[in-house]
Structure 1
Amino acid sequence: MKISIKPNFSALSCLLFSLLISTLLLSLYSSMALASTAVNTDATPPVQTFDLMMVGGGLVTCSSLSRQNCVPGSQFTADAKQTSVYRLTHSALERAFKHPSLSGLTAPQKAILLHASQQQGVAGSSLSYQAFYDAISAVEKDFLTDLNDQVYYALLDLLEDEQAITSGINRQEHVMLSATQNQYGAQIFSLFTQQALLKKQQRQPQAKRPLIAVVTASARDPFESIDFYTQVFEQAGADVIWLPLDSALQAAIAQQQCDQLPALREKIQGNVDRARLYPVATALQQSMCVSPDSLYQQLLNIDGLFLNGGDQRLTLSAWLTPQKKPSKALDIIKKRLQQHQIVIGGTSAGTAVMTAQYMVTGGTSHGALTYGVLAAEAPSERCEESHCQSDIPATAVTYSTAGGLGFFPFGVTDTHFSQRERQVRLFMLSALSENKLGFGVDENTALLVDLRNHKVSVVGEHGVWVVEQSHVTQTPLSYSGVMHYLTAGDNAKVDEVTQSLNHIQLLSADKTINKQADVKREFNAWVDKACVDGQNDIDLGQAKLIIKPQSQQECDQIKRNGQHYQNINIQLILVNH
């Protein structure tokens, strides 16, 4: 990991020196891990030209925080962070109560927390989140779920333990990309790195390693996943920098309020007390706020930019001014993207935010059928489990009419797709958008986009669902369109005039359907039944879904390959609307 900013205050210099020693040790550890279990590059798809990598989330990766993803026998050093822990003690609570973010706690609420701490004793002072939750719930069952977002997250942040190894150095999450059991995620990271190198070689033909920047602004706590992403791309073969660009930094630069960064983190990004756990990273953000030209120079130098998952609204605000206008940082990236000088990737929220069309911000397919698709601010994600106050139901589909960052011009984007059965929500939302195209990317899967040639292709474990020419009629209220499901090796071109895919090429070789229990294939089963019966009418309660192949040819393809398909008509008729 490279940190090229040199803050002009001595305390930070000491911290940076400590971080350098830690990073060198971590690099040595990572190199040893790679030497023992090399990434299976033979299985990595051939490099092709693309400008965007849009991942559906769920990139399975072996790390010390996700040991279930590692091959049996994988070992991490004792310094590896294995979980976040919380200190529920009287002294920790007294310190937390003094923070302004908890000024709304009542005396009875403070008494509940203090009582919970007394039940733990010294031995139980450092707790996992589940143990922390259980300890408080044992005193007052709904205490945490009844807190509003501001107080709930502030309490977690203020009570999170440092897990210090040495002075100024805390435990880091360790990654072993090569030890991941399911190698699709590792291949996707490697493919992105290879594409970044190709972009760099346009300028420096002899280059061996690209420079990739990671922006973690999608997370409420952008500092938490720095170690994960920098190690992933280092092990994939890149030089990596973390750019501390988030909504708080953007606001501080625009308003010239760098001295207010901690307050802006709390107000806009939603985190507090981060300098205690991440002194080097927060100091770097402070330095870049004072000298934003260093940020812009980094954006001019990088070959790849990767956006993490979380909340796409936070990512969007990181690149827009407080007046919702494109920032200088966004202007730089868009210009370089238009000139095909950089590859941009994202996962989950990092994919959803790329759209130039309506940007989905929340909700489920069932919520779309029940409450409709609303151009409104999404309620908190905690509303599904807590008693939050919101005018919008927790499952209602919400979207931003202003769209996202505008990198992807071809339609609405959605993620975690088949796994969370989001076909109906994307179908309804895309029908309302100007483009009428929707792309839903499954987990551990990526849609590759060649902007110059309007070409899309798929890599990874599952597939990408595409709905085209979608439109809505009012009497009765119904949605109609044509759908395709592309899997690894499939590609097509986007016709922006007809708002459809053409020149669709489905890989002819037989494919093995992944039978993992977490992948719901009910929708594909409905398509299979439509091929057998000529048409499949599905009762969804609030609506009737009609699936009908355009011709026998489409069904013959399904019989040969059993997974992907094209040119299947879809209609959704809502009842009682």
Structure 2
Amino acid sequence: MTLNWKVVLSVLTLGMSGAAMAESPSPQDPQWNLMLIGSELRICSSMNSDYCANDEWINANDMRTSRLFQLTDVRRSSALRQAIWPRDRQGVREELDEMLREMVDYFARGVVSEHRLVDRFRSRAYLDLLMRLSDAEYNRILDNLEMPRLEGLDEVVNLAMNDDFSAEFITQFVAMAESMHGIANERPARILVITAGERDTFRNVDSHVQAFNQAGAEATWMPLDIAVSAAQASGRCQDLEALRRELSGTYDRDRVDPVRHGQQIAFCRDPLAWQSMLANADAVFITGGSADRLKQTFFRDNRPVALLTAMQERFTEGNLAIGAAGEGAAALVSANMITNGHSRSAVAEGSIARRPPPPDCGLDNTCPRNLSGNSLTYEPLGGLGFARFGIIDTDVSHRGRQGRLLRLAADTRSPLAMGIDRDTAIRMNTRTGAFEIGGREGVILLEGAMGTDTMLASTFHYLRTGTLGQLSGGRLIDAVMAPQEFVRPESTTNRFLGDSGIFDNIDTVCRGRNELRLLQENFELMMRVNDDSELELSRGRCQIMNGIMGIATQ
């Protein structure tokens, strides 16, 4: 459906002051300056053929198609050396040693591709061991077994073959940068790519830089991450590899990718290198990974580093576009940044203003005191400060994160909380509050959340792709809901804590009794509409404005 911007913007700006309206974007150019994507970009490339509509174009002789791993004695010994394994995990370490020796015989060679190694790791013979490994232990093994990148074979991106909306989001972000600077058809938009939120900040550089370049931009990677930030602050640029192990849990990146490592060393030793890179940029795109890791990268002693301050100033002045995906989007808030948590634990136990626990910390006994791997943790002082309208959560509908979003909004008395679905993006003009939803699914907005230890409730809006609206003063002012195609869910569940129960059953709210009730264990979900609600009755997954949502513990 094509919407008339003149009509839409006249609705969205209704009630704004004359001065504000005089400065508003034109109907033809809403001047988006912020893009939030609800999941990490899935870029079709020779390394990621699962993200492609087909893989017939991939040539293994000319392209890098997989990470390679060595099962030699040297690499196995490195992966299992006692110095990097806690004493209370020695039993697991010995089982891994036996497994890797068996794999040498199984593959009958010293080099194996990632998919073959991982498939064998997940086979019935080793599944029990795999289930007892934490993320940190699993990655420790792979990091130490990985071979250096082979010269002459590079990852190749094919944006035209992308199998979801990632290519569209990339193209839209490039257009945002061009529009903001009025450079369309004059020169390429210059985009800085920041991968600092990821555990391995080298791994997705090539795919993102190439993707933006294929979309018509001139993309550059900023070699910044938590290790570089800490090294600059302490004068330890020579210790980058040790700091990566300590702060990100990555091993041997200097051996595996010496080129990227060298770029980080040079960037680290020049404390002003960021200035020319940012000055040359029209936009900055931040990939996913960990919101907490991004926070720690851009702050020292709870104060923003000079780079972040400069980015915020340019963003506020209106000459820098910002985009982010997955937890990178969640990290852009100015207060109450979600850093961890499962909806079940959030509803039952509440939120905790602490650094997040390590992933799967219950498996290797690394959980901090009074925290579990599922605890809802948050940073009350927020993240990078580009999104000032409220809390942001991502991949909400598919992973049943409405509960943790509702809990944090209620605990912190946040007027507005936004949950963005997988393969979905929201573009915003942060000055006017105007927004547009694009991609596959939708966005849930929670207003005025409140609660007790056993009950949570709020007003909610669920808006889907094509919808245009405006936020102001911590609430949805208005929206024009776009009609949707019929959606028949492939499978459905009633489980709404950590699963897609709300997403699968939301159409029930719009029909019949105008109410949805779901039970899971001792938790009950209620969603209801009334005379004040507005509905868009697309079959399968309707849209709702001014509904009521509650979760109670029975």
The answer to whether 1:467 aligns with 2:446 is: yes
Show the counterpart of 1:478: 455
Question: Residues 368-407 of structure 1: matches in 2 within 5 Å?
Answer: 368-383=346-361, 386-390=363-367, 391-407=370-386
Q: 1:541 to 1:526 in 2, by over 3 A?
A: farther
Instruction: Map Cα deviations across residues 465-489 of structure 1 (whole Å, 9 max, x no partner).
Output: 1111112256xx4222111111122
Instruction: Map Cα deviations across residues 264-315 of structure 1 (whole Å, 9 max, x no partner).
Output: 1111122121111211111111001111211122112211111111111111
The answer to whether 1:160 aligns with 2:152 is: no
Show the counterpart of 1:126: 111
* C-alpha contact 2:46 2:155 (8 A) present in aligned 1: yes
Q: 1:230 to 1:526 in 2, by over 3 A?
A: closer
The answer to whether 1:501 aligns with 2:476 is: yes
Larger mean Cα displacement after TM superposition, 89-98 or 519-528: 519-528
Q: 1:104 to 1:159 in 2, by over 3 A?
A: farther
* C-alpha contact 2:227 2:244 (8 A) present in aligned 1: yes
CA distance in 2, matches of 1:552, 1:108: 61
Show the counterpart of 2:318: 340
SS in 1 for 2:304: coil
* C-alpha contact 1:531 1:548 (8 A) present in aligned 2: no
Q: 1:516 to 1:281 in 2, by over 3 A?
A: farther
Aligned counterpart in structure 2 of residue 539 of structure 1, from 519, 523, 526 = 519
CA distance in 2, matches of 1:136, 1:124: 19
Q: 1:480 to 1:237 in 2, by over 3 A?
A: same
Count of residues in Structure 1 that have an aligned counterpart in Structure 2: 515
Aligned counterpart in structure 2 of residue 92 of structure 1, from 53, 75, 89 = 75
Q: How far apart are residue 233 of structure 1 and its match? A: 0.5
SS in 1 for 2:398: helix
* C-alpha contact 1:214 1:240 (8 A) present in aligned 2: yes
Q: How far apart are residue 325 of structure 1 and its match? A: 1.2
CA distance in 1, matches of 2:346, 2:92: 37
Show the counterpart of 1:21: none
The answer to whether 1:273 aligns with 2:252 is: yes
The answer to whether 1:525 aligns with 2:505 is: yes
| AA aligned opposite 1:126 | V
SS in 1 for 2:432: coil
Q: 1:197 to 1:529 in 2, by over 3 A?
A: closer
Show the counterpart of 1:550: 530
Instruction: Map Cα deviations across residues 92-146 of structure 1 (whole Å, 9 max, x no partner).
Output: 2245566954586988776655544443247342234565464699997755655
Q: How far apart are residue 89 of structure 1 and its match? A: 1.9
Instruction: Map Cα deviations across residues 157-189 of structure 1 (whole Å, 9 max, x no partner).
Output: 12112251x3xx5x433211101233x221111
Q: How far apart are residue 218 of structure 1 and its match? A: 1.3
Q: 1:483 to 1:113 in 2, by over 3 A?
A: closer
Q: How far apart are residue 531 of structure 1 and its match? A: 4.0
TM-score (norm 1): 0.81
Question: Residues 14-163 of structure 1: matches in 2 within 5 Å?
Answer: 48-72=30-54, 74-78=56-60, 79-96=62-79, 101=84, 112-119=95-102, 120-121=104-105, 123-129=108-114, 132=117, 134=120, 146=132, 152-163=138-149
SS in 2 for 1:418: coil
* C-alpha contact 2:426 2:438 (8 A) present in aligned 1: yes
* C-alpha contact 1:115 1:139 (8 A) present in aligned 2: no
Q: How far apart are residue 226 of structure 1 and its match? A: 0.7
Q: How far apart are residue 510 of structure 1 and its match? A: 4.6
Q: How far apart are residue 552 of structure 1 and its match? A: 7.1
Q: Percent identity?
A: 25
SS in 1 for 2:512: helix
* C-alpha contact 2:426 2:435 (8 A) present in aligned 1: yes
The answer to whether 1:513 aligns with 2:513 is: no
Q: How far apart are residue 72 of structure 1 and its match? A: 3.3
CA distance in 1, matches of 2:84, 2:333: 34
CA distance in 2, matches of 1:217, 1:137: 33
Aligned counterpart in structure 1 of residue 340 of structure 2, from 362, 372, 379 = 362
CA distance in 2, matches of 1:153, 1:61: 22
CA distance in 2, matches of 1:67, 1:191: 23
CA distance in 2, matches of 1:250, 1:275: 17
* C-alpha contact 2:418 2:445 (8 A) present in aligned 1: yes
TM-score (norm 2): 0.84
> Structure 1 stretches of 5 or more lacking a match?
1-45
Q: CA RMSD in A?
A: 3.0
* C-alpha contact 1:196 1:303 (8 A) present in aligned 2: yes
Q: How far apart are residue 514 of structure 1 and its match? A: 6.7
CA distance in 2, matches of 1:138, 1:479: 42
Larger mean Cα displacement after TM superposition, 511-520 or 336-345: 511-520
The answer to whether 1:197 aligns with 2:178 is: yes
Show the counterpart of 2:391: 412
Show the counterpart of 2:291: 312
Q: 1:199 to 1:517 in 2, by over 3 A?
A: farther
CA distance in 2, matches of 1:426, 1:172: 40
| AA aligned opposite 1:161 | M
Q: 1:524 to 1:106 in 2, by over 3 A?
A: closer
CA distance in 1, matches of 2:389, 2:37: 16
CA distance in 2, matches of 1:225, 1:500: 36
CA distance in 2, matches of 1:561, 1:97: 51
Q: 1:65 to 1:139 in 2, by over 3 A?
A: same
SS in 2 for 1:426: helix
Instruction: Map Cα deviations across residues 192-245 of structure 1 (whole Å, 9 max, x no partner).
Output: 0111112333xx676321111111111111001111101110111110100011
| AA aligned opposite 1:156 | L
CA distance in 2, matches of 1:514, 1:409: 36
Q: 1:71 to 1:433 in 2, by over 3 A?
A: same
The answer to whether 1:438 aligns with 2:412 is: no
The answer to whether 1:325 aligns with 2:325 is: no
Q: How far apart are residue 64 of structure 1 and its match? A: 2.0
| AA aligned opposite 1:393 | S
Q: 1:48 to 1:511 in 2, by over 3 A?
A: farther
Larger mean Cα displacement after TM superposition, 83-92 or 257-266: 83-92
Q: 1:293 to 1:544 in 2, by over 3 A?
A: same
